Chains A and B, each alone.
Chain A
Amino acid sequence: MSKKEKILEIKHLKKNYDDTVVLNDINIDVCKGEVVVILGPSGCGKSTLLRCINGLETIQEGEIYLSGEKISNQDKKMHLVRQKVGMVFQSYDLFPHLTILDNILLGPMKAQHREKKEVVVEAEKLLERVGLLDKKNAYPRQLSGGQKQRVAIVRALCMHPQVMLFDEITAALDPEMVREVLDVMLELAKEGSTMVIVTHEMQFARAIADRIIFLDSSKLVEESSPEEFFTTPKTERAKQFLNVFDFDIAK
């Protein structure tokens, strides 16, 4: 792992809202092509961590580097950083006043000043891959939740990000739509995308992750391979966390 090129480095990150510490002394490295899944109970700071990486939150201590360049608390050029970091949110965050295609084109054209023709070709190719090419002229309200999230992924991909952040993107979906979104992510993983994923889907986490990071009460508690984490967790807290997902037979 150490031979690989480091894409994202988080060093001694500390984040608090007023007096409440949300993240404390977090150290994570993510290498090129690696899929890191962050697990942890609600309120442990997983989502906040992703938001810090994308500069939506300022941090109080520590640094974040992207390909060796410091990106934390860089207010002025943050929009340039965000062009290299793709993010998909839990709630459907498509722009309701734009068609699906325009949603995807907005970033590449306005932020990256790329040629419309070239971006359209790419956007259509990506839409076809997620099975939504026929929806390119539809508006977000005409799509199901699962379809919207697939578009949101395409929108982020079209920016050619160095790393993709996924913040519980299936949490607000109906159960039968979860699969179609997860499949898209699995495929991205196979192709070697670098991804940091926050999720509550344990089976999925086990299948996709190269590495699991377990956060609890604002600290990084455990870091291990998925096999190790799900079969023989090192810490008591991780064991308790995993137990929540098992049910005893009631009858």
Chain B
Amino acid sequence: MQDLGIRVLFEGKNLVRLLGGLWVTLQISLLSVALSILLGIILGMIMNMKNPVVKVITRIYLEFVRIMPQLVLLFLVYFGLTKAFGINLSGEVSAVIVFTIWGTAEMGDLVRGALQSIPKHQYESGRAIGLNEFQIYAHIIIPQTIRRLLPLAINLVTRMIKTTSLIVLIGVVEMVKVGQQIIESNRLEVPSAAIWIYAFIFFLYFIVCYPISRLSVRLEKKWKD
């Protein structure tokens, strides 16, 4: 019976459909990561400002987003926004919004940490040679922070991909959903399909995430000092 089960993967267009589902997941995660990195850098720089009001507001945003399970945030946007403003957001759009809000918070905190780890005299010597604030960031601070930041940002990509698995719970048709459809349509002929499909999805996630997290670890070791 198990021999039968694994065949389901290769029957018809099943494999292509599953990979298509993976592509949906990846698109949503990569788009969210790109937006998060962009917004996170801005947020990190804002959080580095001395203004106490800014500090409190960003702190609350950060703590709230990080303490809430991502699935709760997903529900808030997908069900909550729809109800509150009468706008009908698709699952995909809700997902990108939520993961960007979450990713921006994570990235912002990383950027803030990396910026603060740059010694004060780096800013001072920038000023001493007559650079303005923008030039100091562009030529002195940012190049140094990138080394600290890049491994952590890459690590955020794997976290984002894993988190994106949640979107099946708000009805987005991605890999798991496709898998469920395949299981459903083979329910009678191949009752053991479920274990093969889920094992396959499990390994697809692993194959995607593992190289990325290895890369992150390697860069971190390489740039340690």
Q: In the complex, A touching B, CB below 8 Å?
A: no
B residues neighboring A (CB under 8 Å): none
